[in-house]
Chains A and B, each alone.
Chain A
Amino acid sequence: MNRVVRLVVIVALVAALFGLGVYADATEQDRWPYPTAETLDENYGQYVGQETLLFGAVEESRGGTAVIEVEHDSGTFLMEVQNFDATVQSGGTVQVFGTLGADYTIDANRVVVVNPSALSTWYKYVISAVAASLFLLVFFRYWQVNLDTLQLEARDDG
């Protein structure tokens, strides 16, 4: 396969990958078993009484109630979570599975703390950056870029 054909195939695969992203987003509301943040933002009242699963950042929590900020495609909205039985700081991230009530409330069946504080998110970013850096060091110990063919090839000394 010469360089031009290889480039054409790469472009075709990138297009297919992009197309899959379009298909995934276009069908998300049909595939997901619960109302999504987007559908709740568009017409909340239609879904009162239904179960859903939400991800949100905790704004405040006290006395078995919390307020979380739920992100959707075009912004955010606040939800009051009742029966909130988790310990989490402001800025932490939670999953809430429960039943939707009137006026942006949700009666939680289960709350899972994903990130106990905003620092947890940074912890994951830092450890992931460490992983990427170490990987690149190891990878280029065994592989190199051939600038003539613009391909990755095994190093003779790797």
Chain B
Amino acid sequence: MADLLSHVLIAFVLFTLVSWRVGWLTRRWVVVGMGGAFIPDLSKVEILVDPAIVEGVLGVPFTFDHLSSLGGVLLAAGIVTLLFERDSWPRVYALLVAGGSAHLFVDGLRVWADGRASQWLFPVMPTWRPPTPNLYVTSDPTVPFVVISVSVAVFLVDRHYEFG
């Protein structure tokens, strides 16, 4: 994964650019899409809750890794969507899935020693590991530097001009 700040800001840039063409995609909805970028990193809950403890309590194999996959995003987005008011559900769900998918796609560009990314399309394509262009490693500070720079530029343009 890239760092979470980069993922959230990439979602900000993507949804803000789209908002210049899509009238209903106001800042309120851009923020929801940014929230979707958090979903795959929910797998990091394993830092706080050891999956072995879950397995011991429930007696079944278990991992949090699936949260960093398409299936995890689709289900977790559904749960979060139901926390919103009824009229918002279609937009909230679409934006959460889009934000989460953007996160998975960016993660699929990072360096893997064997040249193949993780099985992030699980369970739709449960065994396929897409080829990766090996663009970055997760601890590279260049990534947040570039993303923050682009985000600031988009933020300023968005505030200065009226689009739509």
Taking Cβ atoms with an 8 Å cutoff, the residues of A that contact B are: 1, 6, 9-10, 13-14, 16-18, 20-28, 31-33, 53, 73-74, 95-97, 109-116, 120-121, 123-124, 127-128, 130-132, 134-135, 138-139, 141-143, 146, 149, 151-154, 158
Q: Give chain B residues whose Cβ lies under 8 Å from the Cβ of A114.
A: 137-139
**Which secondary structure dominates where chain A touches chain B?**
helix
Question: Number of A-B pairs whose CB atoms are under 8 Å?
Answer: 146
Known: A123-B141, A128-B41; 5 extra A-B contacts, CB below 8 A, are A22-B61, A97-B114, A128-B44, A146-B85, A158-B28
Known interface pairs A13-B79, A142-B28. Does A25 touch B63 (Cβ–Cβ under 8 Å)? yes
Interchain CA distance A14-B80 in the complex, whole Å: 10
A100 CB to nearest B CB, Å: 14
Q: Which of A6, A13, A28, A74 has the largest count of B CB atoms less than 10 A from its CB?
A: A13
Shortest Cβ-Cβ A-B pairs, 3 listed: A128-B4, A97-B113, A131-B5
Of the candidates A20, A124, A134, the one whose C-beta lies within 8 Å of that of B75 is A20
Query: Are B4 and A24 in contact, CB atoms less than 8 angstroms apart?
Result: no
Query: Are B85 and A139 in contact, CB atoms less than 8 angstroms apart?
Result: no
A88 CB to nearest B CB, Å: 11
